[in-house]
A and B are shown apart, each in its own frame.
Chain A
Amino acid sequence: MLTEDKLKELEIKANDIRQSIIEMLVEAKSGHTGGPLGMADIFTLFYFYVLKHDPKNPEWADRDRVILSNGHICPVLYATMAHAGYFGVEELKTLRKFGTRLQGHPHREYLPFVETSSGPLGSGISQAAGMALADKLDSGANTHRFIYCFISDGELNEGNSWEGIMLAGKYRLRNLIAIVDRNNIQIEGDTENIMPLEPLADKWRAFNWHVIEVGGHDFRALYEAIEEAQAIDEKPTVIIAHTIPGKGVSFMERDYKWHGKAPKKEEAEKALAELRTNRPK
């Protein structure tokens, strides 16, 4: 149960992370904006409340695993990890620059704190399922860590996604929890125009997953969904999180054109001003 104090702390943290996302993208002059802003609340909740991890000891064997399948939203991953203490916040401004550890899409050899390299879509679920399978092989029913896989709705166009979803259902991987960023946009427009996904929850259910739908900016509801997912014993769980792309910056919200571009200087200033104004006191 989230206390009032904790809730406020998370809201402040998410606001700071959104500011970092804007700052790093304007400096990089390219990259994706809509997805990272939309997922800032969920990443904040995970890295500051849910995950069993130790930023000072990232190799800790018993840590939960986080697989980011849609690597293009890595600004939110990098910003959240920096704020959580994996590395300094000042390093965020090296995003996408020559020599950086913060590659345009995550590369685990450059930044060993990330569990996998990603960018090409549709392969995260399978890797997470492979990890869950290996964990189950070693720990049996007593497994005490979770493999969390963040995926986008657009990448559910990829056949590889459904191959992984099918296998996780077959092996009843209760230690695997997927979180779908259901923001209804992809690079060229609305998901339902480009390649309809609905009825999305029914699709996952048909593949033998437990399905929870939740608002992606409601910390309490999200936390309850995660607790429910952890308690489900006989199958993997997907949390379909309904998010608003560009969340927190009014002129970016729900506009698919912000999926794949970075703000220019004036746009960034406007976005940062709005975020600072709305930062909880």
Chain B
Amino acid sequence: MLNPKLKLNPKMFDEDVEQTPTRKGFGAGLLKAGELDKNVVGLCADLTESTAMNLFADKFPERFVQVGVAEQNLVTIASGMAAMGKIPFCSSYAMFSPGRNWEQIRTTIAYNDRKVVIAGSHAGISVGPDGGTHQALEDIALMRVLPNMDVIIPCDAIEAKKAAIALAKTSRPAYLRVERSATPIITTEETPFEIGKAEIYWLPDVGLAQVGIIVTGGLMHRALLAAKELESEGIKTKVMDLCSIKPIDKNAIIELAKETRKIVTVEEHQVAGGMGSAVAEVLAENCPVFIEFVGVKDLFGQSGTPEELIEHYGLGKDAIKEAVKKVLSRK
């Protein structure tokens, strides 16, 4: 059942569930952060509308910097503004930022410990028809490897809004990964959100779970559908929202692994170096258990609808169920 303590969206499993892209949640959160603190500034590399920064740019034109198609400039200008006390948010597509400007992020933001929020939109395979050049499947790995850098991946637009507001108040640089396609609304305004804290969204009605499913990003809805169907098939699971890849909630992950001894990780990213790897690092050291990784397996993406691509690359509901059954069979 859905965790009653978290006040999740009761209409989540309805046919006509509300769907919004997480990038729109980021845009709404940035606008709110800008209203709360006049030091918040927005920078964009010629993708203001598609990264949803237009809400902020329209309301605060004097605090918006259009840098043109120049992602290396995007983050280095932001670093300079942070040095003077501003709280810069810079947005582009994840493939270009942090895809193209990684060294500038490393040296001028992470190494320099400058508080800049890098919003990478259009991350993952669900970018769809733009094809493989535009589908960032490596960005979690690129960013979580950087010292000082937080990495946050919301599961829906409401969580994305809360994340943007929260990130404006921390002292650390951060990467906020959001997606292009609309995904179902899973949380509500009342659902708790804290950077560094993982929450259990789904749990068995009674007794212990047999498998722990750890999810990051917009695949959450598919994971919850899988958990619901597995329950009717007699397989008890817990589904965890791991929105914060860094800092990572070690205790919650270890607790889940101790209960189930079987883990499945789910993400729109290469299996190598992504969220699943981060979970495996925690568990290998503290509580070694069987793990199955649902993610892209050392391949580039291609054109197609988000649905077609998610199915083709084995990231959909059925693939998640299959992974659960596979990990359950391991002894």
A residues sitting closer than 8 Å to B (CB atoms) are 65, 67, 107-109, 115-120, 122-123, 126-135, 137-138, 159-160, 163-164, 166-167, 171
Asked whether, in the complex, the Cβ of A130 is within 8 Å of the Cβ of B76, the reply is yes
- Min CB distance B309 to A, Å, is 32
A166 to B70, CA, bound (A): 10
- Min CB distance A7 to B, Å, is 34
Task: Spot the interface stretch: B78-86, B183-191, B192-200.
Answer: B78-86
Asked whether, in the complex, the Cβ of B79 is within 8 Å of the Cβ of A130, the reply is yes
Asked whether, in the complex, the Cβ of A134 is within 8 Å of the Cβ of B72, the reply is no
- In this assembly, does B19 line the interface, its C-beta being within 8 Å of a C-beta of chain A? no
A-B contact pairs, 6 of them (CB 8 A): A120-B104, A129-B80, A134-B83, A135-B84, A166-B68, A167-B70
Given contacts A116-B112, A123-B104, A123-B108, contact A138 B73 (CB under 8 A): no
Which residue of chain B is the closest to A107 with respect to CB atoms?
B111
Q: Which of A122, A134, A160 contacts B81 (CB 8 A)?
A: A134
- In this assembly, does B298 line the interface, its C-beta being within 8 Å of a C-beta of chain A? no
Could you give, for residues 75-108 of chain B, a 1 whenever the CB lies within 8 Å of some chain A CB and a 0 otherwise? 0111111111110100000000000000110011
- Min CB distance B300 to A, Å, is 25
Asked whether, in the complex, the Cβ of A160 is within 8 Å of the Cβ of B76, the reply is yes
Extra contacts, 17 of them, besides A65-B83, A127-B108, A131-B84 (Cβ < 8 A), are: A117-B107, A117-B111, A123-B108, A126-B79, A129-B77, A130-B79, A130-B82, A131-B83, A134-B85, A134-B86, A159-B72, A163-B68, A164-B73, A164-B76, A164-B77, A166-B73, A167-B68
- In this assembly, does B113 line the interface, its C-beta being within 8 Å of a C-beta of chain A? yes
Asked whether, in the complex, the Cβ of A117 is within 8 Å of the Cβ of B108, the reply is yes
B-side contacts of A137, CB under 8 Å:
41, 62-63, 86
Q: Which of B70, B81, B103, B107 contacts A133 (CB 8 A)?
A: B81
A121 to B330, CA, bound (A): 51
A64 to B63, CA, bound (A): 23
B-side contacts of A67, CB under 8 Å:
80
- Min CB distance B76 to A, Å, is 3
Given contacts A116-B108, A118-B107, contact A131 B63 (CB under 8 A): no
- In this assembly, does B47 line the interface, its C-beta being within 8 Å of a C-beta of chain A? no
B-side contacts of A65, CB under 8 Å:
83
Which residue of chain B is the closest to A123 with respect to CB atoms?
B76
- A-side interface mostly: helix
A-side contacts of B63, CB under 8 Å:
137
- In this assembly, does B287 line the interface, its C-beta being within 8 Å of a C-beta of chain A? no
Which residue of chain B is the closest to A160 with respect to CB atoms?
B72
Asked whether, in the complex, the Cβ of A116 is within 8 Å of the Cβ of B83, the reply is yes
B residues sitting closer than 8 Å to A (CB atoms) are 41, 62-63, 65, 67-68, 70, 72-73, 76-86, 88, 103-104, 107-108, 111-113
Asked whether, in the complex, the Cβ of B83 is within 8 Å of the Cβ of A127, the reply is yes
A-side contacts of B107, CB under 8 Å:
117-120, 123
Give the top 3 A-B pairs by smallest Cβ distance, nearest first. Answer: A130-B80, A126-B76, A163-B73
Asked whether, in the complex, the Cβ of B77 is within 8 Å of the Cβ of A130, the reply is yes
- Min CB distance B287 to A, Å, is 34
- Min CB distance B109 to A, Å, is 10
Asked whether, in the complex, the Cβ of A127 is within 8 Å of the Cβ of B84, the reply is no
A-side contacts of B68, CB under 8 Å:
163, 166-167
Which residue of chain B is the closest to A147 with respect to CB atoms?
B80
Given contacts A117-B111, A137-B41, A163-B72, contact A130 B78 (CB under 8 A): yes
Which residue of chain A is the closest to B83 with respect to CB atoms?
A131
- Min CB distance B223 to A, Å, is 40
Which residue of chain A is the closest to B113 with respect to CB atoms?
A109
Which residue of chain B is the closest to A67 with respect to CB atoms?
B80
Q: Which of B76, B84, B111, B112 contacts A138 (CB 8 A)?
A: B84
Asked whether, in the complex, the Cβ of A160 is within 8 Å of the Cβ of B73, the reply is yes
- Min CB distance A139 to B, Å, is 10
Given contacts A133-B65, A134-B86, contact A108 B80 (CB under 8 A): no
Asked whether, in the complex, the Cβ of B111 is within 8 Å of the Cβ of A160, the reply is no
- Min CB distance A246 to B, Å, is 28
